[in-house]
Amino acid sequence: MGTKIVNGVRYATCVSDGSEGFGICVNCERKMVAEVMVCRRNFSRAKPSPSRTDDDKLFVINKHCQSCRFFVKKSRDEDHRCKKAGCQQVSLWKRLDRVRWQCPVGHWGDKARLAKKKWTSTRMLVRDTMQLIEILPADVDAIIGVPRSGMIPASIIAASLHLPLYSISDSGVTECGSGARFKDAPSEFKNALLVDDTLNRGLAMGKAKAILDDLGVPSDRYTTACVYATPMNKELIDIFAKPLPNPHRLEWNFFNSIYVSTTAFDIDGILCPDVPNSMDDDGEKYIEYLKNAPVKYPIRLNPAGFLVTARLEKYRDVTEEWLEKNGILYNKLIMGPWDSNEEREVKGVVAEWKSEFYKNATDIEMFVESSDCIASQISRLAEKPVICPQTERIYG
C-alpha cells in the first residue's frame, strides 16, 4: 500500500491496480470520513447508474477533515458527466453512509441526497427538545438552563412540564420568573434538570456543574441533559435527544460565530426578509422598504467576510445605511453588476455571478443563500458548500 499527498490529503493506493483508497488528513492523521475514495475493486458495493461504465475511474472531492476541520481544496482525477441528453453535469462519487453515484441536478436517484444534513435549524431544535422531554426522569422538579443557547430548550421544557425555570451563571442560580401560570415556585429543588442545547467538548456543561458544586448542590440532586451531543463525548451527559456529529452549523448561533469571517452572505432573505412583491417596483416603494426592512439574521459579533447581494449598484448607499443602522458587521459589500432589473432577471445570471465570485474567493469557505434553487446552482458551479437556511440544507 503506497501513499501520495494531493492538496493536503494523503491517499493510500491499491497495490493491485494503483487506484486511490481512503484519504488521510495530513493535519491530524485521521481518515477523511466525509468524502473519500474507494478502491476500484470495491465497485460491487455501489448501486448501478446510467452513467457508469467499466472504464470509469474514481475521483474525490474533499472539503475538510471531520475530526480537525483542516480545509482541503477540492480536486478530481477525472471529469465524469451525466449521460442524460442535454445535461452534461459533472457527477459526483460520494462515500458517505453508503456508496452510490449521483447526478448533481437529480436526473437519477433522490435529489435530496445531495444535501448533507449538517445544518440544524431552530425549528429542529424545538422539535427535538420535545423528544428530549419524553425521556426525562419523572421526578424532575426544576429546570436550569445554561445561557444563552441552553435557555431555548430550558424554556420549552419548563413551559411544557409546568416547572420553575432558572438560569445559571458565575453568580449562582437565578430564578427567571414564574409568570401568571406558576406563582408559587419552590425555593429548593430535589432533582433539577441542568440543560444545554448542545454538548461538543463539554466545557459549558462542566463549568455549570462546577458552579453547582461550589454552591453545595450534590450531583444526585440534578440530572444533566442536552438536545444534541457529539458521539465521541456523549458519555459526558446523562441524557440527550439526538447525536450530532461534527462538523455542524446551528441556525441560532451561526450568524454570530467565528465562522462568519470566512463566509459570504446574501442580504435579501438572509439579513432581512425578501422584498414583498407589492414593494418591488424599482422605485420609491422599493427604496422605502430597503430603508426600513426588519432584521432577520443579524451579524453583530464578528464581521462577515463578504455581503454579496443581487441589488443593483444604485442602491448601495441605502443598503449601507440600513446595515449601519442595524449594527450589522461586514468587511466588504458586493453589489450586483447589472444596469437594470431586466438584465438581472435573465434566468441563471444571478447564480452564475455569485458562483463566479465564490469560486475565486479563496479565503471564503461558505456561502449563505436564501434561494434553494440558486443555492444548489452556486454550489454546483463553484464546487464549494452553500447553506440554504430556508430549506435547512447545506449543498456541496
Pair (305, 180) in one structural domain: no
Same domain for 255 and 389: yes
Last residue of a domain, one of 65, 95, 115: 115
Listed residues 196, 226, 245: the one ending a domain: 245
Are 227 and 341 found together in one domain? Answer: no
Collapse the DSSP code of 187 into the 3-class scheme (helix H, G, I; strand E, B; otherwise coil) and give the result: coil
Q: Is 228 exposed, middle or buried (0-12, 13-18, 19+ CB in 10 A)?
A: buried
Residues in Cβ contact with 168 at an 8 Å cutoff, skipping those fewer than 6 apart: 144, 145, 146, 147, 174, 194, 208, 211, 212
Taking the model in full, what pTM does it have? 0.68
Q: What is the pLDDT of residue 194?
A: 97
Q: Which domain does 63 fall in, by range?
A: 1-115
Closest to 104 (Cα-Cα) out of 376, 384, 393: 376
Cell 453588476 -> residue: 337
Same domain for 128 and 186: yes
Is the domain of 106 the same as that of 134?
A: no
Same domain, 265 and 240: no
- pLDDT for 332 equals 97
Burial degree of 231 (CB within 10 A; 0-12, 13-18, 19+):
exposed
Same-domain check for residues 109 and 149:
no
Banded pLDDT at 247 (limits 50, 70, 90): confident
Identify whether residues 128 and 211 lie together within a single domain: yes
- Give how many domains the chain has, as a whole number: 3
Select from 245, 264, 299 the last residue of a domain: 245
For residue 139, the domain's CATH number is 3.40.50.2020
CA distance 71 to 73: 7
> What pLDDT does residue 234 have?
87
Examine the domain organization and report whether 259 and 376 are in the same domain: yes
**One domain for residues 101 and 136:** no
Same domain, 20 and 126: no
Burial status of residue 86 (CB atoms within 10 A of its CB: 0-12, 13-18, 19 or more) = exposed
- Backbone CA torsion sign across 302, 308, 313, 318: negative
pLDDT tens sequence across 322-346: 999 999 999 999 999 999 989 998 8
Mean pLDDT of the chain: 77
Using CA atoms, how far residue 122 sits from 127, 214, 251, 264, in Å, is: 9, 33, 6, 21
| Closest to 229 measured CA to CA, from 204, 251, 255 | 204
Instruction: Give 99 or 213, the one with higher predicted confidence.
Output: 213
Q: Within 96-169, where are the H helices?
A: 122-133, 151-161
342 and 294, same domain (yes or no): yes
